[in-house]
Each structure stands twice: as C-alpha cells, then as structure tokens.
C-alpha cells in the first residue's frame, strides 16, 4: 500500500472479522507491515485475592502489596532494557515475591487466621503484546522524556475510529419506585495542578504507590498519607463544599516532549511520558436507581472502578469507557477512540452503585460495593446508593497519539483505565443529594 493511500484510508476490514483501524493521516508515512511483538510481565494480583485483613495487619499488608508492585515494575524495567535473561529474571522475581507474600501471610496470621490460597501466587510469566511503532519510540527518546530503554506507547491496534463502532449503550428500563433525580457537583478541572503518583486507597502511606500520575479534583490535600481526619479538615475545589476526593490517571499526548515529571517517580521513571492533557471539561454527577430509591453513602466510603492491571489481570474488573463527543452511544472498553474533526475524546467512569450496608472499604477494595444487575437491582444483601458518574472531556489535536498513565508493565493499554473516589461529603450534603435523587429533581 502506498504511503499516500495509507494516509487516506480510515479503516481496513479483514476477512476474518477483525478490524485494523487507521486514523486518517494519523500514521501517514508508515508502511503496513506485521506488527512487532514486545513482552511484558504477568503476575497474579495478590491484593485482589485477599478477602479479609484484620485492622491490626492492614498497614503491614498494604506496605507489602506496594512492595510487590515495586518488584514487578523493577523487573519490567530490566526486561525492557533488552539486557536481562528472561529465565533468570523470572526466577529472581519469584523469589522476591515469595518472601513478600510470606510476609503478608505472617502479618495476617499475627492478627487472625492465615489466609488460604496465597501459595503459588509468586510465579510470574511473560506475556506478549503488540509493540509500539518504532517511530513513536524514537520520537519519545529524542524528546528526552523517555531516555531509558523500554518506555512503551500503545500499539496501533489499541486505537479505533469511533465512526466504525456500532452503538452499544444499553439502559435498563425504569420501574415504578425508581429514583430518577440527579445531583451534580462542580469541582473544576484541576486548575490548581494537584497531581501525584500516590493511591491512598490501595497503597496508604506509600509514596508512588500507583507508579502513574493521578489528576485530582475536590479535596485539596489528598496524597498517600491522607487520613479520614485530614480529608475532613481539608479545603476543596468543589463549589458546594463537597470535600470528597475524585481522582484518575492523567492522559498524555505521546509527543516526545518532557513534562515536569519527566525524570520523576510516576512520570518518566515509570514510563509515563509526554505532555499531560488538562481536561476540557469535568462533570461529576450522582444518579439514582432505575428500580428503587437510594440510601445515603457513609462518609469515607471508598470506591475504585475499573482495574489498573486489567491488561495482565484480565477484564473481570475492567470498566473503562472511552468515546468521542457526538458518539457517546458507542463506548469502548479496550480501545482508544480516534475522533473525527470537531469531536473530543471522552472518558466516562460509571462507579458501583450497590453497597453492603456495613463497610466503607474491603481487603481487596471491591467486595464492599457492587455493580447493579442488568435490570438495575442490587444483589441480595446490598442496597442502592447514589451512583457516581464522572465524565472527562479532552481536546486532542487531530492525528495525535495519546495514552493513559499506567503501571509500567501494563503498557498504557486503554483497558487499564480506572477511577477512584472517597466520599467526604458532610451528612447534610449527602442527605441533600439523596433527597434530590429520590425526589426526581436535577440539583446543581
């Protein structure tokens, strides 16, 4: 295929039913060829396997879970340098993980019963993935933001032209007794530049616990060392006094330019490079249930939606939703959207809307909340709470490649997108939200 023709083609449909999508002009000058492969490291997610962690062991367990992430990130850096022997690398990683997993078991056993099922979680394997185009690697290196070897961009197959995607959004029918109102919160677009690579939910007390940069709105002081008391004492960017913490991985242009974190943890040191895109718009809205009234969330409830390790973990907990303005009836889970001229990139986070009625968190940060069933109802033992929906819009220059920040070994795959939330609304403000939603009113 000629370069001129390649630049004009928007999609090439293969006879097998697969589709290779090429943005018009986005990859001009690159001949069509078989995509090279790259390797990453796939390790069992120990944290996801934990169901009960006694309070007395939680700090030690969280510290060791973060250490497991450090070990995988370090191993991936050695792997991507091209100088490591793969068998030796996996063997050494297994030994490191084994000691750390034993320490997790010991910590839990010291405060309760030793958890079952941790044996065998130290083993990791190589996982193949399509490599980024060589031109993109070279551009990043020349920009100085990814001088270290192995800083990976998304592959060409990670992008799809949104116009070729069929509408796929389905909404459950509304029943009698539904809560049809909404409660919107204006917290800005992170104009104050609140960034850090921490994750106070998953890795409290650990700097760079996320290994990728987070964008924050709402609570002004959130970092790895935040506590319920410090969050409650903090100021907020929200105009109605909501002190809740809303955060998500930043989106970057893969433009080879050095951001301010080019040599810092969570940034260039962890393979997250390029210009950070400031959202054009951030919408935070709480919605009701199509089948029942909602009850108040407890203060300090923590919810994570999506899975930052979905590329290696699989899609069981993935919840990414990528689209373009004007096309939001078409949502993508494992592809980045290529938007037509005049359309912006959209990330939508639909959070879990069912709560167990008891816990503000759980050992794996998932089992205390749940998504509603297909008909909108909650499973037995869970109750409907206001559903947080975050919509983040970005103006991406036409033809530009972009990527979400990720753990190094997750290769910036779109399926790894995720959002985090800590409810720090006062009881009065949460009560107002519930009354608006249950009363069928749209409150702003």
**pLDDT tens, residue by residue, 41-63:** 999 999 999 999 999 999 999 99
The band of 305, judged by pLDDT with boundaries at 50, 70 and 90, is: very high
Residue 202 CB partners (closer than 8 Å, separation 6+): 47, 62, 65, 66, 209, 210, 304, 365
**Which region among 130-144, 394-408, 426-440 has the lowest average model confidence (pLDDT)?**
130-144
User: How many angstroms separate the CA atoms of 25 and 400, rounded?
Assistant: 10
Residue 82: band (very low, low, confident or very high) from pLDDT cuts 50, 70, 90: confident
Name every residue whose Cβ is closer than 8 Å to that of residue 4 and which is 6 or more positions away in sequence: none
What pLDDT, on a 0 to 100 scale, did the predictor assign at position 22? 28
Domain map of the chain by residue range? Answer: 1-33, 35-127, 134-443
The pLDDT of residue 32? 38
- Residue 81: per-residue pLDDT: 86
Q: How much is the average pLDDT of 388-398? A: 96
Region 15-34 average pLDDT: 33
Residue 138 has pLDDT above 80, yes or no: no
Question: Residue 3: how many CA atoms within 13 Å on its side-chain side?
Answer: 5
Q: Mention every residue, 6+ apart, whose C-beta is less than 8 A from residue 163.
A: 10, 327, 340
From residue 263, alpha-carbon distances to 202, 260, 380 in Å are: 24, 8, 49
From the centroid of its chain, how far is CA 362? Answer: 19
- The first and second tokens of residue 380, run together, are 């037995």
Rounded Cα gap, residues 208 and 59, in angstroms: 16
pLDDT at residue 382, rounded to an integer: 98
pLDDT at 5 over 90: no
Give me the pLDDT at residue 140, please: 47
pTM for the whole thing?
A: 0.88
CA 224 to chain centroid:
17
Give me the pLDDT at residue 398, please.
84
Mean pLDDT across 426-439: 98
Rg of the chain, C-alpha, whole Å: 22
With cut-offs at 50, 70 and 90, classify the pLDDT of residue 96: very high
Query: What confidence score (pLDDT) does residue 163 get?
Result: 96
**Angle value at C-alpha 306, between 304 and 308, nearest 5 degrees:** 95
HSE (side-chain half, CA atoms, 13 Å) at 209:
18
Query: When comparing pLDDT for 171 and 140, which is higher?
Result: 171
**Residue 200 CB partners (closer than 8 Å, separation 6+):** 222, 223, 224, 225, 226, 245, 422
Q: Walk across the sheet containing 369-370 and list its strands.
A: 369-370, 354-355, 383-384
List the beta bridge partners of residue 31.
none
Does pLDDT of 147 surpass 50? no
């Amino acid at each position: 295929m000629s370069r001129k023709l390649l630049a004009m083609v928007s999609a090439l449909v293969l006879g097998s039913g697969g589709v290779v999508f090429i943005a018009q002009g986005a990859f001009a000058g690159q001949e069509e060829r078989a995509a090279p492969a790259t390797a990453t490291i796939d390790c069992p997610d120990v944290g996801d396997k934990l169901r009960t962690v006694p309070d007395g062991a939680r700090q030690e367990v969280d510290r060791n879970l973060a250490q497991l992430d450090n070990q995988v990130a370090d191993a991936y850096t050695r792997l991507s340098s091209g100088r490591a022997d793969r068998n030796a690398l996996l063997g050494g990683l297994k030994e490191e993980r084994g000691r750390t997993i034993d320490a997790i078991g010991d910590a839990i056993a010291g405060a309760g019963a030793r958890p079952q099922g941790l044996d065998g979680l130290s083993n990791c394997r190589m996982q193949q993935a399509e490599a980024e185009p060589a031109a993109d690697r070279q551009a990043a290196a020349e920009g100085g933001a990814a001088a270290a070897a192995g800083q990976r961009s998304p592959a060409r197959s990670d992008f799809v032209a949104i116009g070729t995607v069929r509408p796929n959004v389905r909404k459950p029918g509304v029943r009698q007794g539904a809560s049809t109102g909404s409660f919107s919160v204006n917290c800005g677009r992170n104009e104050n530049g609140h960034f850090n690579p921490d994750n106070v939910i998953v890795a409290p007390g650990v700097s760079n616990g996320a290994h990728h940069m987070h964008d924050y709105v709402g609570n002004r002081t959130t970092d790895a060392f935040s506590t319920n008391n410090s969050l409650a004492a903090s100021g907020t960017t929200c105009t109605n006094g909501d002190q809740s913490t809303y955060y998500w991985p930043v989106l970057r242009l893969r433009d080879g330019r050095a951001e301010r974190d080019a040599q810092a943890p969570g940034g260039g040191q962890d393979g997250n490079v390029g210009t950070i895109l400031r959202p054009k718009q951030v919408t935070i809205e709480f919605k009701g249930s199509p089948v029942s009234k909602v009850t108040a969330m407890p203060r300090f409830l923590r919810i994570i939606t999506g899975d930052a390790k979905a590329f290696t973990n699989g899609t069981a907990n993935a919840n990414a939703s990528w689209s373009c303005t004007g096309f939001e009836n078409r949502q993508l889970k494992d592809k980045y959207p290529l938007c037509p001229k005049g359309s912006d990139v959209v990330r939508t986070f639909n959070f879990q809307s069912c709560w167990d009625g008891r816990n503000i968190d759980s050992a794996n940060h998932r089992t205390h909340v749940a998504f509603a069933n297909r008909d909108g109802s909650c499973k037995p033992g869970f109750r409907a709470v206001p559903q947080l929906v975050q919509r983040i819009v970005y103006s991406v220059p036409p033809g530009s490649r972009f990527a979400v920040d990720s753990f190094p070994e997750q290769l910036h795959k779109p399926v790894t997108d995720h959002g985090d939330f800590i409810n720090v609304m006062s009881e009065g403000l949460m009560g107002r939200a519930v009354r608006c939603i249950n009363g069928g009113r749209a409150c702003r």
